[in-house]
Amino acid sequence: MCILLLTLEISENKQRVSAVLEALKTAPAAMEESLNLEEQMIKISNEIAQQQQVLICGRGANYSVAREASIKLKTLCYMHAESFHEGELKHGPIALVEDGEKIIFLATISSLGRVEDYRSTLGQIAARGGFPIVMTDHDNAPLLDFFADEIILLPKVLLGRTGTIFLILLLKKVRLI
């Protein structure tokens, strides 16, 4: 938080500073809304715990969150977990998708230009028999629910940085923090 505020202080883009400060004001309410997903997250975490492996996909900032979630699942749950950039999944790692396996798919989309990329990858996961668990916001859910086995609706926060909320929810529900 301190680094963010320092960055804002030295920023020359005052409109960006105002937008980030406004987004920060909504973060506590968004976190509270996300914590109301407890029942759904417990159900999903129990299903995932029965699997041999966990695959987590993300694009952009969500890829970093996917990598961190993968590391946490490996080190704290002793579970085989792999993270992939959403665009790379169809170039080899798709072979890891097993019939009936749930795959966590982080799809908080900052621009509508990427929706077709997400839909294409979700279609390939479904074609291999996988069941994507899509984490997205209310705006993009109708565009992504066709191939999703389950959708977790997260609020849009901090200029689209919903991935952090996902990581907190995942770790809370798997009882890691």
pTM of the predicted structure, to 2 decimals: 0.76
What value does the mean pLDDT take over residues 69-74? 88
Pick from 15-19, 30-34, 77-81, 95-99: least confident? 15-19
Residue 177 scores a pLDDT above 50: no
Quote the CA–CA distance of 122 and 118 in Å, as a whole number. 6
What value does the mean pLDDT take over residues 77-89? 86
What value does the mean pLDDT take over residues 61-85? 87
Domains of the chain (ranges, CATH numbers):
15-173 (3.40.50.10490)
What value does the mean pLDDT take over residues 81-100? 84
Confidence of residue 3 (pLDDT cuts 50, 70, 90): low
Residue 75 scores a pLDDT above 60: yes
Phi, psi values for residue 86, rounded to 5°: -55, -40
What value does the mean pLDDT take over residues 33-42? 81
Residue 77 scores a pLDDT above 50: yes
Q: Extract the tokens encoding 127.
A: 């074609």
* Average pLDDT of the chain, as a whole number: 77
Which residues are within 8 A (CB) of 122 and not within 5 positions of it... i.e. 6 or more apart?
Answer: 105, 132, 134, 144, 146, 147, 148
